[in-house]
Every structure is written in C-alpha cells, then in structure tokens.
Structure 1
Amino acid sequence: MFLLHPSLLFQLNSLCLLQVVDEKLMFVKVHMPWEVLCTYAEVLHIKLPIQPNDLSSRPSPWRFFSCITKHFYPNEELITKESEFFTAPFEKDRLEYFYIKDKDLFFTPSMRSRMAYYILSRAPYEIRGHIKKFGITKLLDGGVYKAAYPLHDCRFNVRSTEEDCPNERFVLYEEWAHPKSFYKMQPLDLIRKYYGEKIGIYFAWLGFYTKMLALAAVVGLGCFIYGYKTQETSTWSKEVCDPEIGGKIVMCPQCDRFCKYWRLNSTCEASKWRSNNADNTALSFFFIIALLFWKRYQAELEYEWDTVEFLEQEEPPRPEYEAKCIYERKNPITGVKEYVPFTTCGRCVRVSIGIGTVLFWILLILASIVAITVYRLAVFFVFSTKLRTQEIKELEPFKEYVTPQMATSVTASLISFVVIMILNILYERVAIWITDFELPRTKSEYENSLTLKMFLFQFVNYYSSCFYIAFAKGKAVGYPKEPVYLLGKYRNEECDPGGCLIELTTQLSIIMGGKAIWNNIQEVLIPWVKNLIFRYCTRVPSQKVIPRWEQDYQLQPLPKLGLFYEYLEMVIQFGFVTLFVASFPLAPVLALVNNLFEIRVDAWKITTQFRRVVPEKAQDIGAWQPILQGIAILAVATNAMIIAFTSDMIPRLVYYWSFSVYPYGNHPNNTMEGYINSSLSIFNTSDFSDFSKPEQSNSSLIISTCRYRDFRFPPGHPRQYEYNGYYWHVIAAKVAFIIVVEHIVYFLKFVLSYVIPDVPYSVKEQIKREKYLTQVILHETNLKAGDQTSETN
C-alpha cells in the first residue's frame, strides 16, 4: 500500500483502490500491471526460472538422524519445500523461454514490492530548471505523505479464510516468531520470500553465529566447571588462603599515607576464582574457522537466492544523490556528460570534515576513559582506607569477599557502562549526519561508510576500558619507594597478587549484561507500547473490522537503519566473545542465551509490531564480513597477550619448569609449592618516602618489611630493588609465548583457508550449469532464429 502523488501514479501505470477514511486521511492501494512488471524486472536484472534444476542433490549427512532432527524443523505441512529452478536475468523480449505456469505467481510479492518502490523512489513530481524533485522518499521526508509500505498478507495470529489469500505471515509467526517455536530451525526460504534477501541473509547469519556459539559455549562452560571444581586443589591458591603462609605475609599499602598494611589471605576468595581461569586461545581460533564455514554457507545461499551476480550489476544511485546533481562533468569511463552533486575539491572537503569529526569523538571517548581511571584511583584510596579500618559497617558481613579492588572495579564498571550508552546515543546522530553530509552515491556506499564510522566509534567506546584493564592497569606502578603517578598527582593503581583478570571479568559481565538488557527493552517494549498508544488514539468505535491497509498503518515503520543496528549489536557482542574469552570463558554462554532470545525477539517484532518492509537484494552481510574477520584475527593476539601479561599462567609455568635457586629459598623442582613467596618481592618499610609512608596505626606491631608483587632484588642486595633474573626469564617466556601462539594460529588459518574453498564444489557445478543453460536457451536460440530469418529473406 502506497500513498501517492498523481504524477507518481502516472509513472506507475497502476490500478488504484482509493479509500477515504476521513477528511485528513486517505489510503491508496497500488497494483502493478503485467507489462510494467515485465519492464522493470528487466531493468532491475531480476533472475527468474528458465528450467527445473536437473542436477541431483547430495544427500544430507544428517539423514540417518531424521527421526530426531525432524522435530527441530518447521512443520512441513505448513511450509512445503519449494522446487529448485535454474534462473536467468529476465528479458522481456524472450518471455517464451522463461518457466511461466501462472502469470499471477510468476513474480513473487517481494519482487513486486521492490519494483514498485523502485519506480516510486525515482518518479519526478516537480522540475524547476536544473533542480529536480522526485521520489516518494522526498515526499515522506517533507511530510507531504504519511507513509508508503507494502501490505502484510494477513493477520499474524489468525489464518485467512480466503482461498486466494496467502498466509505466509501467519505461518512465519507460528513456526518462527512464536515463543513456543524457540527450538526450531528458521524457515529461511520463507523469510527471504516474504521479506527479501537482505533480511533473509541477516537471519541466516544470526542463526549460523548462534550455532557456533553453542559449540563455543560447551567448551567455555566446561572450562568454568572444571575451574570451579578444582579451585580448592590449586597449590598457590591454598598458599594464599593458608593462615600460616598467606596469613603471615604482610603486603605493602597500595596508596600513599592513608592506606594500611594488609594480609595476603584477605584476597583468598578472589585467588580461588583466578586460580583455575581458562587460559587459552582455542575459542578465538575456533571462531576464525567458523567464519570460513560461514563463507561456504553464504555461497550456497547466494546461489539458491539468485544473488551470485548481484554486485556485478551496476547499482543505481540513491535518490538523495541524484536530487543534488548540479555540477556537470565528463564520465571518465563512458565519455558521456553527467551531473554530480559536488566537485572534486568539494568532495575532499566533505570527507575531511567527516574524518575530523570521527577523530574528535574518538578522542572524547579516550578522555572519558582517563576520567574513569582517575575515578578508580580516587575511589580505590577511599575503599582501601575504609574497608581496612571497617568503617563501612554495611559491608562488614561481606568483608571476606569484598576487596578494595573489587569494590572499585564494580562501581567503575557501572559508571563506564552509563558513559558508553550516553556516548552511543550522541554519536549515532553525529555519524548519520556526517554520512548524509558526505552524500555517498549508492545505498551500498552509504551503508558501508556508516558501518565503518559506527564500528570505529563503538570499538573504542565498548572495548577501551577492557583494554585498559587487560593491558595497562598494574603494568607501570613502580615499587613502594618510587611509585608511578598519573597526571603527577594520582598514584597508579595496582592489580592485587592474583592479577587483574577478575576485574576484566567484572567489566565484561556488566557491559555485556547491561547492553543485552537495554537492547531488549528497546527492541521489545518500546515498539509494543508505541503501537498500543497509536491504536488507542486512532481507533474508530463504529468499525468492528478495519481493512488490512489500515491495520498495517497502525503498526510502527521499520527504521531505515533498523537492520544496521541489529548487525552492529551482534558484531559488538562477537568482539566481547572473542577478544577477551581467555579471561571470561562464560562469555560464549551469555552470548548464546542472549542470541536464542534475540532471534525470536527480532522475528516477533518484525512479524507483529512493524509494517512490512520493502524487500531488498543483498548478496552477503556487506562490510560486516571483513570487520568480523578482522576481529577474529585480532582476538588471537589479544587473548595471547591476556594470557601472557594479565594472567599468572606464564610466571607459574616458568616457576614450575625452573631448576634454579631463587632469592627467597630453594625452589622445589616441578611443583608449585612456594610460588606465592617467590612471586612477591621484599621491601624495607624504612625506605618509604615521606610522602608515601603510611601513617602509624594504634597497633603495637612494628612492621619492618612488607611484600609487593614484582620480581626485584631484596633490600641489602648490591642491586637492591632492581629487576632480578627471574623477571627477565618471565618476560622472555611471555614474548616467546605470544609469537609462537600467533604464528601457529595464523599458519593453521592459512592452511585451512586453502583447504576449505569458499564456494562448495556442488554449488560451482550448479552455477556452471545455470550459465550454460542461460547461454543455450536465451542466446543461442536467438541466434538460430536470426539465421532462419536471414535464410528466408
């Protein structure tokens, strides 16, 4: 159903059904005749059937389990398997060579809607000199018309009783969007048929990604359970908790003057959590392999959905681009004069302004990270003094579990999440404004430009705090005599003896969980409330049943960038799952649970809460694919660095396999006994500077030495407080670990990329067969007809 200007109706050559609801609202239902459909099917290079597929399909390897797997597929009585055809770009003059059983069914509803919208978006309605005004989009933006949308075929929860009326929306709701069908596979062919290839490929990718998450979640959950079951058996965790070992180790204060000395066993519970953390990069490598298989699956969909050569066709310019073409130039390829919206210099200025704006906002994010870091330092000082002196009475029952590091981490993570969401809302509008200002020529160029801007910003916004905790916090702190200060005022914060992994886990949990909850509120609650209010305000008491076009008008329009935000949400989640999985093995589990809801929530809202969208062609997931590949490759490096520099895995391995004697006693060969003692250096409290020396407490205990996390020579040594040999052994082992792991993973990726082709062999065969038939049926037949005509003459 489209609301149209009279000149647009002339361009469409359509049959219209006009209904006047009241003086202010009028509906126009548009129908495209056969001749118009044939004309624009050729203009848009739509591929249509020429012959049934005569190549035998290979049997599925899962056919032996059909008695089990059939319960996980949609009802075959409602969704029948469609026949397979070889297709070719439609040509109006060779209509007799196409496989036409019924003219009314030859062009699918999604094809009809796409052709109608193509005409409407380019039909001029006003020309003044060189300035042209055209397209339904311009009229909608100007408020001339309220809406333009294709009609749903029926109500989503009631089957149509009319014989000639399809019930595809009802079937999609029952077998896909309804909560009771959460365990069923998605009917991708019906989704593509009803909503178009662009939405179909999104749900195909989301379903594939969720399957991969299921496998990763099993591994991650297994690592977590193993760590939980064995945390009591960890030797170095036992030493931290042992009153005779950790209870007698006095740690140096972690801030100046007002912080107190503390016992190592106060971090007992945290050390148990960290002791058996899943230090591995296997899951990040797993997702690299998964992306290779996605390419193969995507190639199959490209062939089945007739989008193999879609990008090879010249994409038409956006109406917004064409409307501002006022400068004349000579096309360097065709040599024909054409109009463009700006000169070369003007384009450079626009791009420069866009780049400058993006950089400014990225710097703004970094400034917020610095501000949160300053907050961490200040609040850590408060929690350290108050928790150590039991001044916060409300936390007294949890004193065994709440450490200054944990309290600081939780509050800082919550503030970081709020800042992230606020900056997202602001930057979203800025990114759209910049992209509109740059005026890309085609819709693909527009979406790719916006995708790059939004992802760069989101990458820095969501991950910068995690990168800070993983790779910066606790790395440059000096030692008690000469601590490092931020901005010359705030003493740089340290990790506790177990490392910063628990803080990184806390940060990831809060951001991932908060983001998932917020997105679901936006996607489910807001459209439902809007529709409820709109129906209440526009209801007509005298009418019991309103027409289909009026029911659809009461639904929400799907935002122009609705699918863009769905991809962005999943790509950001993919980054959390892959980039930091070594520190948080439960990340795939949380992502899996979220995605199982996400698929059905997206299906529910697009089927029940939004008007039917104009179907669009899409060959793949666009610019998101190289972004996903880049994240997966980067994840190998980040996880290797987390294991090397953030966790205690490498120092523990060096200690375990070492046979030398260390400064604090003999090392028992090939055991972890004594590791805690060897990983903590000794500091003489008389060496504190006047500024950082802790204030004397009322305790009569005189503390002459304290311990700190580092590998330095003890007081009294000729090279006191300098790095010892163990430190350099550990650094060398860390660097070697990163280099070896990265090279092994990247080599395996290269080998698998070569062994696993992007396009399956069976698909290549069908593509070749289709091209051959296209040449024989459409072109050679035409040549024979031409030869016969010449012989007759």
Structure 2
Amino acid sequence: MFLKVHMPWDTLCTYAEVLHIKLPIQPNDLSSRPSPWRFFSCITKHFYPNEELITKEAEFFTAPFEKKRLEYFHVRDKDVFFTAAMRSRMAYYILSRAPYEIRGNIKKFGVTKLLDAGVYKAAYPLHDVTESFTENSYWIFPCWLFQCRFNRYLLYEEWAHPKSFYKMQPLNLIRKYYGEKVGIYFAWLGFYTRMLALAAVVGLCCFIYGYTTQETSTWSKEVCDPEIGGKIVMCPQCDRECKYWTLDSTCEASKKLCIFDNFGTLVFAVFMSVWVTLFLEFWKRYQAELEYTWDTVEFLEQEELPRPEYEAKCIYERKNPVTGTDKLKCYLFFSYRIYNINLSLYFVPQILLIIASIVAIIVYRLAAFFAFSTKLRSQDLKELQTLKEYVTPQMATSVTASLISFVIIMILNILYERVAIWITDFELPRTKTDYENSLTMKMFLFQFVNYYSSCFYIAFAKGKAVGYPGDPAYLLGKYRNEECDPGGCLIELTTQLSIIMGGKAILNNIQEVLLPAASEKLIPRWEQDYQLQALTKLGLFYEYLEMVIQFGFVTLFVASFPLAPVLALVNNIFEIRVDAWKITTQFRRIVPEKAQDIGAWQPILQGIAILAVATNAMIIAFTSDMIPRLVYYWSFSVYPYGDHSNNTMQGYINSSLSIFNIADFSNNSKPMSTPYNITTCRYRDFRNPPGHPRQYQYNVYYWHVIAAKMAFIIVVEHIVYLTKFILSYVIPDVPYAVKEQIKREKYLTQVILHETNLKLDKACERKKNRASSSITSKSIFFHFLLRLTNITDRMFCS
C-alpha cells in the first residue's frame, strides 16, 4: 500500500515562514558585468544546455517569507512559487516531527522512527512523471507553461545523457529538483574538473617534453652507449644468487625515466603548488556566488532531530539549552560517552594492519626481485634475450607489486569501511550531521593511509638505507633491503601511481555503471520509484570521498607523474555523467537539503594542499635524480670522475656510481660466480673508492648533494607558501559584485517588508488614537451633562 502526501497552499505558506525560506520580492535591478567570453558566444553557446529546453531564469532579490505579508512577494503563479525541492523539504520537516504515539510522558514522533521500526518500508519524494527516457514527446511544451513538471526528463537529456558530456551542468535546475546539497556537490565536481583542464594541459606538455627529449638526454645516452654503459659492470643487488650485470641493460628503463624525471617536472611541481591554491581560492569565490544565488548565505539552520539509533540508547534527560523547555530525551551519561570515545582506540589495530600489509608487500618485492634477478639476468636463457632488453628486474618487481598492492588496497577498503562505521555507531553521534562529520574523518584517515602508504614508501624509504655491497642492510635480519635503479626510484613511483589511480578509476566506474537498474513499466509513478534504488543514509559521502582521494593523487605525488591531472580529468568527465545518470534514472528522488558549502571536506582539501607542497619538494629532492644532476652541472670541477672539459652533463653517470673492490665481499653476500676479468664493480652511491683513507665512507659530493637537497626543500617551500599566502590575501573570498547584491537585498528587505509595514502600523495606531480621543471627549461631555443634571435636580428638590 502507498500513501501519498500533499501540501496545500496554506500549509506551504505556513511552513515556508517556519523554515525561513527566502523567496523573490523584486527583480534584480543591478547591472551585471559583461562576460569576457561574450565575443565568442557563437562558439561557447554549444557548451551550454539547450536554451529552448532549459530557459535562463530571471534573477530576483529575495527575503525570508512571511505569510501575513504575502502581497509584497513576487507571486506570479501559486503552482510554481514554491519549487519542488522546497515542497519536499517542507513535507519532510512535517513528517519528521509528526507525533504518532503518546504513552504517559513519552511522546514518539517522526517518520524516521517508523522506518527504523519497519512500520513503513520507505518514504521518498516522487520523481516527475515521465513515461520513458527514450521518448521525446515532452520537450515541445514550454517549461514555464507546465510548471517544469518534466524537469527530470530535461535533466536526463541535457545533463545525464552521454551525448551531453561536453556541456556545462544545469546547476539551477539540479538545485530546484534535488536541493542545494546535491547541487553544491555537482557544482564543486564541475568546478574541480574545469580547473583540472588547465593542470592537464600543462602536465601533458611536460610529458611531451620529456618524451621528445628521452633520446637526446645525456645521461640516458651514456647508459645506452656500449662504450660507456656497456663497460660499466654493476655489483649484484642480492646475495649469492644474483650476478654481475652491465649498466646498458637498463637502457630502456633509463629512457622511460627521462620522460618523468627532467627539468620540466620541477616547473610542473611548482605550478601545481600554485594551481592548488588558485583552485581553493577560486572555489571559495564561486561558492560565495552560489550561496547568494541559492539563498544560503544566512539561511536559518533548523535544529536537527536526534537519530533514532541515538534515541534508542537514551538513558537520561536534561533541559534543552536551546528551547529552554523541551526535554532532550537522548542525553547520555558522561562515563558512557567516555566509553564510546575509547572505542576509537580501535584505530590502532587498523593502522597496524596497514603497516603489516606494507611489510608484506616489501617482503614480496624483495623475494620477487631475487627471483626476477636470477631469471632476467641469466646468461643461459636465450629465449629471454628480447625480453631482457625491455624488462628489468626492478620493473618486473614494481609492476607485479603494484598490482598486488592495488588488490590489497581494494580489500582493505571494504574492511576499513565496516570498521569505521562500526566505531562511529559506537560513538553514537546525536545528529546526522555529527554522524557524517565523524565518519568523514575516520574514513578519510583510513583511506589516506591505505592508498598513499605504498607511494610514501617508494618515494621516501626505498633505497635510502641499503648500505653498500660489502656491508648491505637487511630487513628483519634476513631480507636484503631493496635498491633503486641507477636512475632512482621515481619510475617505480610513477608505475605505482598509474596502476593505483587508473585501476581505481576503472573499477569505480564499472561498479557504478553495472548497478542493477530498474525498468520503466506501465505502473504508477510511486510504484516505479519504489522499485528504484534507495540512496544510502550517507548520501553523497562516498562520492566526495572518491574525489578527495583522487585530489590527493593529483596533488601529493604529481612531481613523479605529470599525467595524473590528465587521467583525473578524463575520469571526472565520465564521473559527472555517471553520477548524473545514476541519480536521475537509478535512484529514488532524495529529500532535498540545504547546504552552504561542501562541509567537512573543505578543511581536508586545504590540509592536502598544504601537505602537497612538502611532498612534491621532497620527491624532487630525495626520489628523483634532479638535485644530484644540478650539483654536478654547477660544481663539476670538484669531483674526480667524468669529462669536465665543458659545462655539460657528460660524465654524470660515471660520477654518480661508486667503486667497490669485489675482494671485499663478505662470505654471505659474495656472488657464487665471478667473471675472471673484473676486479671491481660499481654501485649507486657517493662513497670513497677502495684504497682511500676513508674507503667506502661518504665523500664530499654526498654532503654537497645533501646540503643542496635541504636548501632546495627550504627555498621551494618558502617561495610556494609565500605565493600561496599572497594569492589567498589578494583574491577575496566573496566577489565585489556579490557583496553589492547582498547589501542591496538587505536594503530592499528592510524597505519593502519592514519599513512599509512599520508605516502601516503607525497609520493604524494614529487611527486608533483618533478614535480613542473622540470617545474620550464624548465621555467628558456626557459626564459634564450628567453632573449638571444632578445639580439641577438638587436645586429643584431644595
């Protein structure tokens, strides 16, 4: 059985005043600034929704609705005066507070409790009436003529349909149909995607620059040169089983490294640090415009009702500090709340689980590297000769470890989600907003550690504590620590990022598209909507989480992967349309909610932006080979290796490899087979050669490089943070035009609603005073006559 709820005009007016809904009072008479793109309107109009279907709405000044002053509001048609989102929000407000049972002093109320108890199976606003999304018989009617009753169809055609992927979103129509909370999400996602376009162009240019210079790069040519790289014998990278190898075997890997590790990467990393500041500052401005346009600047946020789960575990009562009279039936004793907070200590096992998974991946990498080293560098397997030219042990290990890491991340995500929800349920937040904010922080911290931990390991831990061939470092006393390629670990970080970021995007879109869809049957609208999927209690939480994690990949590690903004841009173009398709065709219509901003996600984005400056500076300093190259380029005459006849990078590869005497191998690490014609081998480090008074100790080049790295980090961070501060100070959060409109609106509200009514009240008071004075004068006259009559009577009697 279905129960349909309708709100008549009088009830709508009453609750519009209760909820302080702002409605139009006068058309906007402030002249708007001409758009700088107006000269290209013949081109840009194709990137906007069809104006014949979705007409541009007139702008109005608005004021909080007052029922007794209805004549001052701009009411053209009662049927369209309140939007569908307003009607649904008012209906839900009534249903969420309607009492249904009274037992003594206990009063039960709210449809949410009835849903939780199973009395009702669902409660939802109805979608617009549409027979099918494939029929185009509706668009021929003007939207204003039929109250925009086919808004769902218009949203599908101009927003959710794949053919409209290149068009701007009809945000005002989304807001009118779904409410401000959904509208602000898609506004943020669309703005983020547009800003990504600029970052994607710069990142693509950086990638093309690296790709075109990989063949001409001095260090890659030296690695691939048979007379240089072919004659440099490298030390084995594992104990006993690994063999000596020549540097030119990493020729292809060295060329690929030059694509991502070049001077353009440095410029791009600084650009992205500025870009993220511009993104956040311009988003604040755009958000301020939406707040004014959507009347959420000073909206009165109603006190939220407690969640049913909160009320079910209520033990004590206390006086409501807001109303002063009502009782909060869900006040928990202090010790019980302390007990719930202590449950947050379950974070510790989860972090330990992440660390255990990281260690497991590291152990796999060590074992896999040992296996690939014995196979791929074997001189006996002729069938692998072609493969050996393109696949190195490091590359094979990195790709397989990244795939395994991605699978583990996806599995742990499911576990972390359940644990985070379980912990939040135990904490028992009072309202839905408190619940979402608490869960947001937990889920983001879990996901942050889960997604980024492997990237942080490769960027800042791998290859940093390996010792040297005569005294290698071991993990757990058994596994020899993993080394980086002669060109550094940056290419492995790039591989890790591309696999995790690309795999996550593909998997998420497949999951969203393949959700079970409901078929449109010849049944009433309310039954069709019931067969659709119900949006979860968390609403847009997972959509925000997915985009914020992607934002972290785009900003935190962009110095190692310039194509990250490109992948994010392509993914978001699909993400917008997939989300629009889901919410329009696959989900029941959600209850509209007011929202001023993106909530708890705003400070999270700001924290990521601050952290991104440090991580990118450290990646360039410690993960890439940029700083050692610059030190060699500017201070080449200090060091004994290489050709220093001119100011070039010639001889850099030779100078970046230290010499080791194979006679100094220990019995545990000495290779089982040694070529008869070599007495030394090379390894990646800056140490003194054998025979030096401080042999195998760090040389002066090492300390110069360390000093340059620290100086680079300090200088870049200070410059970027200063730039961010200046930009955030120069760019106002609220545009000047919006400030003017807000002041104008307040003035009109005061003049039209308050001063006019004040004058009427004074006029009525003067009329009452005149009437009162007239009655008073008449009373005095009659009193005088009465006294005179009494005196006459006495004279007559006497």
TM-score where L is the length of structure 1: 0.91
For residue 782 of structure 1, report the CA deviation from its aligned partner.
3.3
Change in Cα spacing, 1:392 to 1:112, as seen in structure 2 (3 Å) is: farther
Query: Are 1:771 and 2:746 an aligned pair?
Result: yes
Aligned match for 2:193, one of 210, 215, 223:
210
Larger mean CA deviation between 446-455 and 262-271 belongs to 446-455
For residue 126 of structure 1, report the CA deviation from its aligned partner.
3.0
Partner of 1:560: 537
For residue 130 of structure 1, report the CA deviation from its aligned partner.
5.9
For residue 551 of structure 1, report the CA deviation from its aligned partner.
1.7
Partner of 1:577: 554
For residue 276 of structure 1, report the CA deviation from its aligned partner.
4.2
Partner of 2:101: 126
Corresponding residue pairs, total: 752
Partner of 1:712: 687
Partner of 1:343: 333
Correspondences of 1:5-24 after superposition (within 5 Å): none
For residue 385 of structure 1, report the CA deviation from its aligned partner.
1.2
Aligned match for 2:265, one of 263, 269, 279:
279
Q: Unaligned regions of 5+ residues in structure 1, if any?
A: 1-25, 540-544
Change in Cα spacing, 1:423 to 1:395, as seen in structure 2 (3 Å) is: farther
CA distance in 1, matches of 2:433, 2:647: 59
Contact 1:51–1:86 (8 Å) recurs in 2: yes
Change in Cα spacing, 1:707 to 1:235, as seen in structure 2 (3 Å) is: same
Change in Cα spacing, 1:363 to 1:89, as seen in structure 2 (3 Å) is: farther
Aligned match for 1:476, one of 451, 461, 465:
465
Partner of 1:198: 181
Correspondences of 1:225-264 after superposition (within 5 Å): 225-264=208-247
Query: Are 1:358 and 2:344 an aligned pair?
Result: no
Partner of 2:206: 223
**1:601-656 Cα distance to aligned partner (Å, 9 max, x none):** 11111111111111111111111111111111211111111100000110000000
Query: Are 1:487 and 2:476 an aligned pair?
Result: yes
For residue 374 of structure 1, report the CA deviation from its aligned partner.
1.2
Query: Are 1:547 and 2:524 an aligned pair?
Result: yes
CA distance in 2, matches of 1:72, 1:392: 58
SS of equivalent residue, structure 1 residue 99: coil
SS of equivalent residue, structure 2 residue 502: helix
Correspondences of 1:82-161 after superposition (within 5 Å): 82-128=57-103, 132-155=107-130, 156-159=133-136
SS of equivalent residue, structure 1 residue 399: helix
Q: Unaligned regions of 5+ residues in structure 2, if any?
A: 770-798
SS of equivalent residue, structure 1 residue 308: coil
Larger mean CA deviation between 114-123 and 388-397 belongs to 388-397
Change in Cα spacing, 1:553 to 1:514, as seen in structure 2 (3 Å) is: same
Contact 2:424–2:435 (8 Å) recurs in 1: yes
Amino acid at match of 2:583: I
Partner of 1:406: 395
Amino acid at match of 1:315: E
CA distance in 2, matches of 1:347, 1:314: 25
CA distance in 1, matches of 2:150, 2:319: 51
Correspondences of 1:369-518 after superposition (within 5 Å): 369-389=358-378, 396-518=385-507
Partner of 2:301: 313
Amino acid at match of 1:692: S
Contact 2:195–2:279 (8 Å) recurs in 1: yes
For residue 120 of structure 1, report the CA deviation from its aligned partner.
1.6
CA distance in 2, matches of 1:288, 1:557: 37
CA distance in 2, matches of 1:87, 1:319: 33
CA distance in 1, matches of 2:637, 2:74: 81
Partner of 1:63: 38
Contact 2:15–2:90 (8 Å) recurs in 1: yes
CA distance in 1, matches of 2:203, 2:491: 16
CA distance in 2, matches of 1:129, 1:458: 48
**1:264-303 Cα distance to aligned partner (Å, 9 max, x none):** 1111011111124242222232122111111101100110
Structure having the higher Rg: 2
Change in Cα spacing, 1:331 to 1:149, as seen in structure 2 (3 Å) is: closer
Amino acid at match of 2:392: T
SS of equivalent residue, structure 1 residue 561: coil
For residue 445 of structure 1, report the CA deviation from its aligned partner.
2.1
Contact 1:328–1:337 (8 Å) recurs in 2: no
CA distance in 1, matches of 2:151, 2:325: 47
For residue 426 of structure 1, report the CA deviation from its aligned partner.
1.4
CA distance in 2, matches of 1:127, 1:434: 33
Partner of 1:641: 618
CA distance in 2, matches of 1:324, 1:128: 18
CA distance in 2, matches of 1:127, 1:428: 38
For residue 404 of structure 1, report the CA deviation from its aligned partner.
0.8
Partner of 1:175: 158
Aligned match for 2:640, one of 663, 666, 673:
663
Partner of 1:4: none
Change in Cα spacing, 1:393 to 1:521, as seen in structure 2 (3 Å) is: farther
For residue 769 of structure 1, report the CA deviation from its aligned partner.
1.1
**1:689-743 Cα distance to aligned partner (Å, 9 max, x none):** 111111125x5x3431110100000000001011111000000000001111110
Correspondences of 1:593-632 after superposition (within 5 Å): 593-632=570-609
SS of equivalent residue, structure 1 residue 527: coil
CA distance in 2, matches of 1:44, 1:447: 23
Compute the RMSD of aligned alpha carbons.
Answer: 2.0
Sequence identity percentage: 80
**1:170-220 Cα distance to aligned partner (Å, 9 max, x none):** 111111111111111111111111111111111111111111111111111
SS of equivalent residue, structure 2 residue 100: strand
CA distance in 1, matches of 2:172, 2:579: 17
Partner of 1:297: 286
TM-score where L is the length of structure 2: 0.91
**1:444-491 Cα distance to aligned partner (Å, 9 max, x none):** 222211111111110000000001001100011111111111111111
CA distance in 2, matches of 1:244, 1:303: 69
For residue 341 of structure 1, report the CA deviation from its aligned partner.
2.9
For residue 118 of structure 1, report the CA deviation from its aligned partner.
1.7
Partner of 2:715: 740
CA distance in 2, matches of 1:765, 1:318: 39
For residue 87 of structure 1, report the CA deviation from its aligned partner.
1.1
**1:739-764 Cα distance to aligned partner (Å, 9 max, x none):** 11110111011111111100000000
Amino acid at match of 1:635: A
Partner of 2:796: none
CA distance in 2, matches of 1:710, 1:132: 75
CA distance in 1, matches of 2:569, 2:383: 36
Partner of 2:49: 74
Query: Are 1:681 and 2:658 an aligned pair?
Result: yes
Larger mean CA deviation between 643-652 and 379-388 belongs to 379-388
CA distance in 1, matches of 2:320, 2:528: 48
For residue 397 of structure 1, report the CA deviation from its aligned partner.
3.2
Amino acid at match of 2:39: F
Amino acid at match of 1:342: L
Change in Cα spacing, 1:395 to 1:304, as seen in structure 2 (3 Å) is: farther
